[in-house]
Amino acid sequence: MTGYIIRRLLWGVALLVIVCALTFVVFRIFPTGNPALMRAGRDPTPRLVAEIERVLGLGKPLTVQFWDYLKNVFLHFDLGYSYYSGESVRSLIAERLPATISLTVGAAVLWTLGGLGIGILSALRRHSLLDRAAMGTALVLVSAPEFWLGLVALFLFAEDIGKWKIFPGAGSYVPITSDPWKWFTSLIMPWFVLASGAAAVFARLTRGSLIETMEEDYIRTARAKGLPERQVVRQGVRSAFNPIVTLLGLEIGTLLGGALLIEVVFNIPGVGKLAYSALLQSDFSVIQGTVLLAAMFVIVANIVVDIAYAYLDPRVRYS
């Protein structure tokens, strides 16, 4: 088990290096714009541009640049400095992380609970009105892009531009430390919109998985033992859990991508919004920093899922 975890962690580090290389190739080698020119302000002299290029190390061979970058990232957690504002990327991200964590964790909780709950109810009352309504809604939500759902939600329910003025609209986010209630209300719509797609996928998967396990022989055994139906269902849910946990790991990536769109639509000052602005400004070090952060989250989440999976299913524990 320990060996397994260590192997997985080493793989995770290797993956991170590969992600670094990929972002490096995409953003530094493919021509997109000269960062030194952007840093230099209006009407720069060629000397100023050359000086900035030297400071940023843009003149060095690409391999050296990449090596320097890797060293900084892995040894000093130094993600470099924004070409645009000159601020450290690490502190730019750290400033915005709480907003993104608020958004994603809330949405993840909502989608897991909502998806599981609806999926279980649907499975146990198969073909009922509730089941049909839930699965129909799920199909719509799976198909609808999040940014569109976000805009629709704003147009319907936002306090400023909404048809029914219920929830705070775009740009109303405040940190939880300054006003918890405002923090909470401002995130209600983003949470629901971000959770909707994944919740729908979860509900459908949970339903299918549970319907399958409730047909298993061991569920018949549980009933034949005379267990109360609640306990019988619990045993079914326990087995239905494994594919759901696997999906949970895979959906983390979707969650982060969705968070970027939601932060832009709802104007939440999070890491996604930071990445979005950086993209528009060709601010490579910021882009690299955010991509690396996202990649790290996905990798860590999947390692956690793999370990959880081994814990949940004794049959995979020793292989």
Applying CB under 8 A, which residues contact other proteins? 216-218, 220-228, 231, 235, 238-239, 312-315
Q: How far is the CB of 305 from other proteins (least distance, A)?
A: 17
CB contact at 8 A, 262 and 193 = yes
Name the phi and psi angles at 78, rounded to 5: -100, 115
In the bound complex, what is the minimum distance in angstroms from residue 313's beta carbon to other proteins? Answer: 6
Please state the closest distance from residue 106 (CB atom) to other proteins, in A: 30
- Over 15-62, what HEC string results? HHHHHHHHHHHHHHHCCCCCHHHHHCCCCCCHHHHHHHHHHHCCCCCH
The one-letter amino acid code at 148 reads: W
Side-chain-side CA neighbours of residue 86 (13 Å) = 5
Nearer residue to other proteins within complex by CB, 71 or 220: 220
Q: Residue 148 or residue 218: which is nearer to other proteins going by CB?
A: 218
Query: 123 or 189: whose CB is closer to other proteins?
Result: 123
Q: Which is nearer to other proteins, 163 or 315 (CB)?
A: 315
**Closer residue to other proteins (CB): 231 or 267:** 231
- Structure-block tokens of residue 65: 């640049």
Identify how many contiguous H helices and E strands the chain contains and give both numbers.
12, 0
Q: How far is the CB of 116 from other proteins (least distance, A)?
A: 17
Q: Which is nearer to other proteins, 151 or 227 (CB)?
A: 227
Closest approach, Cβ 209 to other proteins, in A, equals 14
75: exposed, middle or buried (Cβ count in 10 Å: 0-12, 13-18, 19+): exposed
Closer of 31 and 314 to other proteins (Cβ):
314
- Are 275 and 290 contacting, i.e. CB atoms less than 8 angstroms apart? yes
**Phi, psi torsion values for 175, nearest 5 degrees:** -65, 150
DSSP code, position 144? S
Name the minimum Å distance from CB 306 to other proteins: 17
Instruction: Tell me the closest approach of the beta carbon of residue 229 to other proteins, in angstroms.
Output: 8
Say if CB 95 and CB 175 are below 8 A apart.
no
CB of 212 to other proteins, least distance (A): 13
Nearer to other proteins, 247 or 275 (CB): 247
Conformational region of residue 318, where left means phi above 0, alpha means psi within -120 to 50, and beta covers everything else = alpha
- Which tokens hold the place of 62? 């690409």
Alpha-carbon gap, residue 220 to 303, rounded angstroms: 34
